[in-house]
């Protein structure tokens, strides 16, 4: 190894998914690097007061190639858990990588994120999330792409990112007056990355740095999909309102437009195409959520 190794902390917020967490840790242990490997540390923040992740972490410490820090955050909420995962890492890592406890990293996941960062000089690098179903879902779920995540061209500039697959310059996070906003029950990661982007920090896409999310059966249902879209709409409206994006009238128009468009498409006489109807209802739910989020900025989620 030449020079000083890049220090990377992989931060994981976990809540009652010991089997998923174990699979993630195994994939992190299998990471490979073409050149000099970074100095890697893993931090797991357990958001379960019952410490359901403790046994997995204590066992993994015996076989992981990388040191693991386990912390417990008893205050319920994903933002609080993410902040707890950052506490042992900030000031000690050049880069913070985020990944979720229901995901599995490709062997070259982290290497690809770092490679894209070096090539672009970006402050944040985000990568794709593929879906793998724990049990075969209804065909219309797959055909409609109803649980698929967005993809972009490699190197594309983004205006936000998500913590299900992201690499962030550690000094940026260390310099923030606040990290993940614990008043947000959803969208706390989007809000943080919007904040960084609006300060001029570059976010780019690394198409060759995927992780795989294992989707349980209960998510492959229309009710769950519509509720998630509705809550996403609330979160987006709150974030856009907070940061002055689009203006109140613009947010309202977008919300009403999506609601009406979705309802109109759902009413079309295409009874055999369940996937198309589900996509239309999902769009309507997103629009409704945006309207609710604008009208009631603190709407229950």
Interatomic CA distance for residues 207 and 125, integer angstroms: 10
pLDDT value, residue 247: 66
Select from 25, 58, 56 the least CA-distant residue to 42: 25
State which CATH number among 3.30.1050.10, 3.30.1370.160, 3.40.50.300, 3.90.550.10 fits the domain covering 7-217: 3.90.550.10
Interatomic CA distance for residues 294 and 235, integer angstroms: 9
Q: Which residue has the tokens 């693991």?
A: 68
Start-to-end CA distance of the chain, whole Å, equals: 49
Strand order in the sheet with 103-105: 103-105, 211-215, 129-133
DSSP code, position 123: S
Output the tens digit of pLDDT for each of the chain's 301 residues: 456 789 999 999 999 999 999 999 999 999 999 988 999 999 999 999 999 999 999 999 999 999 999 999 999 999 999 999 999 999 999 999 999 999 999 999 999 999 999 999 999 999 999 999 999 999 999 999 999 999 999 999 999 999 999 999 999 999 999 999 998 888 999 999 999 999 999 999 999 999 999 999 999 999 999 999 999 999 999 898 888 776 677 778 888 888 898 889 888 876 568 899 999 999 999 999 999 988 765 544 4
Cβ neighbours, 10 Å, residue 222: 16
C-alpha dihedral (286, 291, 292, 297), degrees to nearest 10? 110
The structural domains of the chain, with segments of one domain joined by +, span 7-217, 222-295
Strand bridging mode 124-126 / 165-169: antiparallel
Interatomic CA distance for residues 199 and 34, integer angstroms: 33
Strand order in the sheet with 157-158: 68-72, 39-46, 7-14, 95-99, 165-169, 124-126, 203-205, 157-158
Interatomic CA distance for residues 151 and 25, integer angstroms: 25
Interatomic CA distance for residues 169 and 113, integer angstroms: 12
């Amino acid at each position: 190894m030449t020079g000083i190794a890049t220090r990377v902390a992989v931060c994981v917020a976990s809540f009652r998914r010991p089997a998923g967490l174990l699979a993630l840790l195994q994939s992190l242990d299998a990471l490979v690097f073409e050149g000099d490997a970074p100095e890697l540390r893993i931090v797991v923040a357990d958001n379960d007061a019952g410490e359901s992740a403790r046994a997995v972490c204590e066992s993994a410490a015996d076989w992981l190639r990388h040191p693991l820090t386990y912390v417990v955050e008893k205050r319920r909420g994903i933002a609080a858990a993410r902040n707890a995962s950052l506490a042992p890492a900030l000031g000690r890592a050049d880069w913070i990588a985020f990944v979720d406890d229901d995901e599995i990293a490709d062997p070259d996941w982290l290497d690809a994120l770092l490679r894209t960062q070096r090539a672009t000089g970006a402050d944040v690098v985000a990568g794709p999330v593929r879906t793998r179903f724990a049990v075969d879902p209804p065909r219309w779920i797959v055909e409609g792409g109803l649980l698929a995540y967005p993809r972009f061209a490699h190197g594309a500039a983004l205006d936000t990112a998500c913590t299900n697959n992201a690499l962030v310059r550690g000094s940026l996070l260390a310099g923030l007056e606040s990290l993940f906003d614990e008043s947000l029950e959803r969208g706390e990661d989007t809000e943080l990355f919007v904040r960084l982007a609006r300060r001029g920090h570059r976010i780019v896409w690394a198409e060759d740095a995927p992780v795989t999310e294992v989707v349980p059966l209960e998510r492959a249902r229309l009710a769950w999909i519509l509720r998630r879209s509705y809550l996403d709409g609330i979160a987006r409206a709150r974030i856009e309102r907070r940061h002055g994006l689009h203006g109140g009238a613009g947010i309202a128009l977008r919300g009403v437009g999506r609601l009406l468009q979705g309802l109109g498409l759902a009413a079309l006489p295409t009874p055999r195409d369940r996937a198309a109807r589900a996509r239309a209802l999902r769009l309507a739910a997103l629009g409704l959520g945006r309207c609710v989020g604008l009208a009631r900025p603190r709407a229950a989620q």
